[in-house]
Structure 1
Amino acid sequence: MFPKSIPIPIPGGLHGPLPRFVEVAQKLSTETVDDVDAVIASEFARFSHIDLKGKSVAVGVGSRGIKAQPAVVHALLRELKAAGAVPFLFPAMGSHGGGNAAGQEAVLAEYGYTEAAFGVPVKASMEVVEVGKVADGTPVYCDAIAHAADYIIPVNRVKPHTSFRAKHESGLAKMLAIGVSKHAGAAAMHFHGMQNFHYLIPQAAQVSLDNTNVLFGVGIVENSLESIRHVELVAPADFLERDAALLELAKASIPQLLFREIDVLIVDQIGKNISGSGMDPNVTGRAGSGLPGFDKGLKIKRIVIRDLTDKTQGNATGLGTGDVTTQRMVRKVDWTKTYVNMVTAGVLNGARLPIVADTDRDAVGIAIRGCPGVESSQARIVRIPNTLELTHIWVSETMMADIEADPRLEIKSAPFELKFDAENALQGTL
């Protein structure tokens, strides 16, 4: 049993004076698709030559909290029904949701993907069919229920991955190679390590395309506000080419912190609905995999993780890339879900336990203590809600010169003190 309190009696204590803060707006990419229904209808018309009357269509949805995806799925289902198809939803999320059907269905329900909400059945199973092998003999699988349907449509956001760099990262190719292939496929791919995903993912995706009835894929690119910047329906013949092109667009659209050096980054929440790694290393520069390619010039000395999102359902993937966390956070962790995810991915560092502070105030103090030569009152501190929502953040006055030098940063408040309640929990929301 983890102790309910861990005293840290050190000279001077943990609660040194903190700098004042200001609310700052970051001006990031905000290009937006105004009418999702119209775009999906127009894109769907490109496939009107395919007779879908009476055809069953398996629409694969993943485990990520893609804010604008429900609108896309609603529009897609509307077009499929109008064409006479009989669509249903299925979880396309590899080993997530605890690696079992009930858990994966629960993940979809947490994001609102239910029969009541979408008007089509949700069919969850961990059974798979082997559909072929890549060049090195690694098997490629497909969800058995989806495989039995007349057509499959994977729906996914395309974005830089949180553990590796390649021509194909998070997107349509990976959705086929790992998401649609369930736990068996995820384990088969991850067995070789993410350092080999640069060839495994496109090869596995091509095997799947060659041996299953993929109607098309739906690729979504978000802007920094989590709205849709671009969405398109991708034909099987164009799958790999368009997946790579959409990744380049996504790289120019992801949120970021517009600073060069931060002593302490306070992250209010991590979770699988925020990032596949809990908190996005494309923002923090810290990849649990240890693979290169995430250094964008921002140096963060210490990271405090305050809490888990509700939608992550206890999955604390990425906790190990922080330096300090809280008792509140640790008591919400479902270690089985976390370990299944991390062991399957082979990224054991992501499940390690940082220093556990009794309170938020202690956590901030410990993190500052972990910055040699930094006085508490002079610490460069940034507070963010999570690594997905970065348009409004709190920044310490000690970073005022950085703010004033960057036209993309705008001060939105008068200086204020951080407030903690009677139990030393950090107050205020971003």
Structure 2
Amino acid sequence: MGVVSELCSGVKLPKMVKIKQNFNRDCIPKEQIPQVVFEQLSREEIKSQIKQGMSVAITCGSRGVANINIIIKAIVDFVKSCGGNPFVFPAMGSHGGATAEGQREMIEGYGVTEDFIGCPIKSSMETKRIGTTEEGHPVLIDKNAAEADAIIVCGRIKAHTAFNGPVESGLMKMMTIGMGKQQGAEVCHESGFKHMARLVQVFGNAIRKNSNVICGLGLIENAFDDTYKIVGLTNEEIPEKEPALLLEAKSLMGKLLFDTADVVVVDRIGKNVSGDGMDPNVTGTFGTPYAKGGIDAKRVVVLDLTEETHGNANGVGMADVTTKRLVDKANWEITYPNAITSTVISMVKIPAFMKNDKEAIQLGLRICNETDKESPRIIRIKDTMHLEYVYISEAMLEEAKQNPNIEILGEPQEWPFDEDGNLETQGTF
């Protein structure tokens, strides 16, 4: 046993109890999604803009958006029904390692393939300058999109992870950062997140006015990451109606139904979970001082990466402790471009890492201040997208029983570590 392991060996972990957090489950049935997409795009103000033979570019982002392949295919089919010639392009700033191949691989990983959607995918990092913002910034967007006859912007509307404002993640940001590719995203990020709430609107409006964006399709998800609402908006309606849609999206978000914890253990992080690997609106681990929310936790421990993140460990820097397994899986050539473009380099710093899950969790608890180490408040989650079933320590049990939105599902149990000190996750959540 090494010195570090010995320092943690005496930390006793409390028994944990599985609970169920109840959230609004309303959603659009998967089989009805294409019909809803058609209904939203069939508004005369939108449909009339797609003419016979027009080339129509359709955005597809890097986030793990529910049913995104079905939604994109429905948009493609709608454009075809109007006589247009659609193509899809990755709209994800610097994600996918800031390469055309990496960005194509990301959307194909979500099922957005040429065979499934029935049209070409044009992935390129080349941009074209289409104008200047009212503040003098150059406005850059994907070259293929800029040269198309029309653009349909499709994006999920939700809380951002680094700033608060009237619009955060959504259609305006999809135009500004996503369509801007690495070069356009870098221009917007250059001033820092202190100004992002304003700049997303400044750039978004400049793109609306200087490009061929004909409409947006805004997506809202419930706490279970199911498609809750799909809204078609004209070019002019996007800045007018997106703020109200953001408030609606925030009211549906999954969260931890506790105000405080000593340690939050996150089994896995990844870009398919959140742009920040783990959503700080849940964990409270914001990379900038320009956003707030989530639980007030003294320490956060992250154990692993999702397979779908392809080694992108963005967000690990917001953890206090992690594992050697995660560090070994991380692909820094994929991870760093996102942080460099956003200028928030703290997101990819490597925290203290331990040889296994048990020691990582023990260290997280050991370094807590002003904590009752005999009865600590610990929460364990699968990731920040899956918050229906979580584990809490015995010290939180009475509080949980007082919450009508929480069900206690079992008796206190020891942590399920295997012989190597790692958590057995099969069937856990």
> How high is the TM-score relative to the length of structure 1?
0.95
2:397 is aligned with 1:391: no
Change (3 A) 1:386 1:6: farther
Measure, in 2, the Cα distance between the counterparts of 1:57 and 1:23. Answer: 49
Preserved CA contact (<8 Å) 2:130 2:146 = no
Letter in 1 for 2:143: A
Q: How much has 1:51 moved relative to structure 2?
A: 4.2
- Shift, 1:37, TM fit: 2.2
2:25 match = 30
- Equivalences, count: 423
Deviation at 1:260, TM superposition (A): 1.6
Deviations 1:13-70 (A, max 9, x none): 4253322222111112322123222221211210333343221111110110112322
Aligned-partner Cα distance in 1 for 2:351–2:65: 28
Q: Is the 8 A contact 1:110 1:311 kept in 2?
A: yes
Task: Between 299-308 and 28-37, report the one with greater CA deviation.
Answer: 28-37
Describe the SS at the equivalent of 1:356. strand
Whether 2:175 is the aligned partner of 1:176: answer yes
| SS of match in other structure, 1:16 | coil
Contact 1:68 1:226 in 2 (8 A): no
Q: Which residue of 1 aligns with 2:247?
A: 248
1:265 equivalent in alignment to 2:261:
no
Contact 1:134/1:207 (8 A) holds in 2: yes
Cα distance in 2 between the residues matched to 1:320 and 1:389: 21
Aligned to 2:4: 8
What is aligned with 1:295? 293
Task: Give unpaired runs (5+ residues) of structure 1.
Answer: none
Contact 1:156–1:220 under 8 Å retained in 2: yes
Contact 1:93–1:180 (CA<8 Å) still a contact in 2? yes
Partner residue of 1:418? 415
Identity of aligned residues (%): 36
Contact 2:68 2:112 in 1 (8 A): no
1:18 correspondence with 2:13 = yes
- Counterpart CA distance in 1 for 2:2 and 2:309 is 26
Structure-2 separation of matches of 1:6 and 1:80: 63
1:45 aligned onto 2:22: no
1:255-311 Cα offsets, whole Å, 9 max, x none, are 1100022111110111111111111111111211232x3135x32011110001111
Residue in structure 2 matched with residue 111 of structure 1 by the alignment: 110
Backbone CA RMSD of aligned residues: 1.6
Runs of 4+ in structure 1 off by over 3 angstroms are 373-377
Decide whether the 8 Å contact of 1:18 with 1:378 is kept in 2. Answer: no
Q: Counterpart amino acid of 2:359?
A: D
Measure, in 1, the Cα distance between the counterparts of 2:182 and 2:223: 31
Q: 2:219·2:227 contact (CA, 8 Å) conserved in 1? A: yes
CA distance in 2, matches of 1:19, 1:8: 21
1:228 to partner: Cα distance: 1.3
- Contact 1:29 1:254 (8 Å CA) reproduced: no
TM-score, structure 2 as length reference: 0.95
1:87-141 deviations in whole A, cap 9, x for unaligned?
1110000111111111111111221211122221111011111111112211111
Letter aligned with residue 147 of structure 2: A
1:235 shift after superposition: 0.3
Please name the residue that 1:325 is paired with: 322
Distance of 2:393 and 2:317 partners within structure 1: 25
Deviation at 1:381, TM superposition (A): 1.2
| 8 Å Cα contact 1:16-1:377 kept in structure 2 | no
| Equivalent residues of 1:15, 1:361 under 8 A apart | no
1:331 partner SS = helix
1:339 aligned partner: 336
Question: For residues 344-363 of structure 1, what are the structure 2 equivalents within 5 Å?
Answer: 344-363=341-360
Q: 1:416 to 1:172 in 2, by over 3 A?
A: same
Q: For residues 182-208 of structure 1, what are the alpha-carbon distances to aligned partners after superposition, in whole Å with 9 as ceiling and x for unaligned? A: 111001000111111122111111111
CA distance in 2, matches of 1:51, 1:336: 40
